[in-house]
Amino acid sequence: MQAPAPMDPAITPANQQARLEQIINDLLAEAKRCGASAAEAVASASTGLEVGVRLGEVETVEHTRDNGLGISVYFGQCKGSASTSDLSPEAIRDTVRQACSIASHTQPDRCAGLAPAELMAGELPDLDLNHPWPIGVADAIQLAIACEDAARATDPRIVNSEGASISTHAGLKVYGNSHGFVGGYPSTRHGLSVAVIGKAGDQMQRDYWYSSARAAADLESPEAVGRRAAERTVARLGARRIGTRRAPVLFQAELAAGLLRHLTSAIHGASLYRKTSFLLDRLDTAIFPGFVRIHEEPHRRRGLASAPFDADGVATRAKDLVTGGVLASYLLDHYSACRLGLQTTGNAGGARNVSVAMGEHDRAGMLRLLGTGLYVTELMGQGVNATTGDYSRGAAGFWVEDGVPRFPVEEITIAGNLKDMYLGLLAIGNDCDFPGSTTTGSWLIDNMTIAGE
């Protein structure tokens, strides 16, 4: 996408990074003067613009400018934390003292403290995350209108709109601790989205599409986003219910990404030490068929979740989470690793850029593999039990026969258990066509319960 005429850049300049680093150093020094045996802090500054339009008229224009500062102090194994949005010297001193006061009232925790000094990130790689978009309000409005207009013009059955929006965000985050580590980096994120309503007879349907990227040049064009939203909406017209049955289910790629996120949540350290994970004690055991490989790539250039170090200051690294179908790694920060008797995996703050090795089939090929069954394109509700893996979600999509979608379906529920669904994975498509930090094609699951009429 071509950037419109420039305005003042929204990204924090290099001298502000130096300022935030100095704030971190002053804060750590203040914590030491107050008697803390260790401390860590994070400071952030961000700016943003979001514009929303509906039916060609401007609905919202929002400029944001935020600062934040958080500190944790340790007196032995007693921890206290405090935060503020005021970065003045007086506020910084008050915040440190509040954290110290809180620590004086907390019970010792054997795992409270900093990650080991030898695991701190060294030289930070350039991950190409900072691409300020010098777009003004007037140009943002025109792009949003162009997106919505394209959606409304795609098909005469598009009769209304929920609006289109353009957003741009630039931020800087700096982390430091009393090991002497201080590091930070600027980053940007831009987005474009639209949602429209279609009508056929007495039935109305709604759908949307969006694009998100670190650089504005990597966004889909407004016209492409609008057309995609309209096509998705129109395809749902004429949806009906089907009878209750068991059948294979094909999860559209962007919904398969949600199945991956259930995995990363289940292998997150907090879920494991609290014993609220359906994958408890499954490390080094098969949880998928042998063809499945799931990889984390925190140093992916322009990746939406890329980071050179985690929220503990630990260097991030690429690793397989699943290899040959076997669970190869948990996702641990320093605290959860200590609780589990293990070492941090550099995942304080979560997983970063998770991808699954995709197969040979495009969307049409995956539908042929499905044969007769359900192609799911929307999920609703929160019916996932993280402790047992029980899975029950409202769904919509298409009923497929002989590899061809026959009609759209709605008002159904699909149910199973994530452990069985993972082991029952038959194929992964190469049809990844959605933005985000999770990369996968569609997933074909062998058999699930479909509750309908």
Average confidence (pLDDT) over 330-343: 97
The whole-angstrom separation of Cα 65 and Cα 166 is 17
When pLDDT is cut at 50, 70 and 90, the band that residue 332 belongs to is: very high
* Same domain, yes or no: 125 and 226: yes
Whether 394 maps to a domain, the answer reads yes
Domain boundary (234, 263, 284) is at 234
Q: Strand 326-327 vs strand 354-356: parallel, antiparallel, or unpaired?
A: unpaired
Q: Is 60 exceeded by the pLDDT of residue 3? A: no
243 with 230, same domain: the answer is: no
Per the domain annotation, does 336 fall within a domain? yes
* 375 & 275 share domain: yes
Reduced to 3 states, what is the DSSP secondary structure of residue 132? coil
* pLDDT above 50: residue 6: no
Q: How many domains does the chain have?
A: 2
Percent of the chain with pLDDT over 70: 97
Please report which confidence band the pLDDT of residue 239 belongs to, taking 50, 70 and 90 as the band edges. Answer: very high
In a shared domain, residues 257 and 179: no
H helical segments located in 162-252? 222-235
Among 216, 234, 252, the domain-final residue is 234
Of 234, 251, 273, which closes a domain?
234
pLDDT for 308 equals 97
Determine the pLDDT at residue 13. 60
- Across residues 71-79, what is the average pLDDT? 97
- Does 298 have pLDDT greater than 90? yes
Distance CA 110, CA 335 (A): 10
Tell me, what's the pLDDT at 382?
Answer: 86
Give the number of residues written for the chain. 453
Per-residue pLDDT, 453: 84
Are 90 and 227 contained in the same domain?
A: yes
Q: Smallest Cα–Cα separation from 284: which of 228, 236, 342?
A: 342
In a domain, 3, yes or no: no
166 plus 291 within the same structural domain: no
Mean of pLDDT values over 328-354: 97
Which of 114 and 6 is assigned the larger pLDDT? Answer: 114
Average pLDDT on 414-430 reads: 97
Quick: pLDDT tens for 242-260: 999 999 999 999 999 999 9
* Mean per-residue pLDDT, 201-223: 96
337 and 287 fall within a common domain: yes
- How sure is the predictor about 14, in pLDDT bands with cuts at 50, 70 and 90? confident
- pLDDT over 90 (residue 8): no
In a domain, 223, yes or no: yes
- Residues 215 and 248 both lie in one domain: no
Task: Write phi, then psi, for 139 (nearest 5 degrees).
Answer: -70, -40
Q: Is the pLDDT of residue 52 over 80?
A: yes
What is the pLDDT, as a whole number, of residue 5? 37
Please indicate, yes or no, if residue 73 is contained in any of the structural domains.
Answer: yes
Per cent of the chain over pLDDT 90 is: 94
What tokens does 16 get?
Answer: 């502000």
408-428: burial string, b at 16+ Cβ within 10 Å, e else? bbbebbbebbbbebbbbbbbb
Query: Do 419 and 446 fall within a single domain?
Result: yes
Question: Which has the higher per-residue pLDDT, 206 or 14?
Answer: 206
Q: Is residue 2 part of a domain?
A: no
CA distances from 3 to 65, 134, 205, 225, 348 (A): 22, 7, 33, 16, 35
339 and 305 inside one domain: yes
What does pTM read for this prediction?
0.91
Determine, yes or no, domain membership for 8. no
Indicate if the pLDDT at residue 2 is higher than 70: no
Rounded average pLDDT over 287-311: 97
Q: Is the pLDDT of residue 414 over 70?
A: yes
How, if at all, do strands 245-251 and 373-380 pair?
parallel
315 confidence band (pLDDT: 50, 70, 90) = very high
Predicted local distance difference test score (pLDDT) of residue 7: 38
Confirm whether 5 is domain-assigned: no
**Mean per-residue pLDDT, 371-377:** 97
242 close to 450: Cβ distance less than 8 angstroms: yes
CATH number at residue 115: 3.30.2290.10
Range of the domain at 187: 14-234
Lowest-confidence pick of 85-89, 103-107, 203-207, 358-362: 85-89
Same domain, 160 and 73: yes
Same domain assignment for residues 258 and 215: no
For residues 115-126, average pLDDT:
95
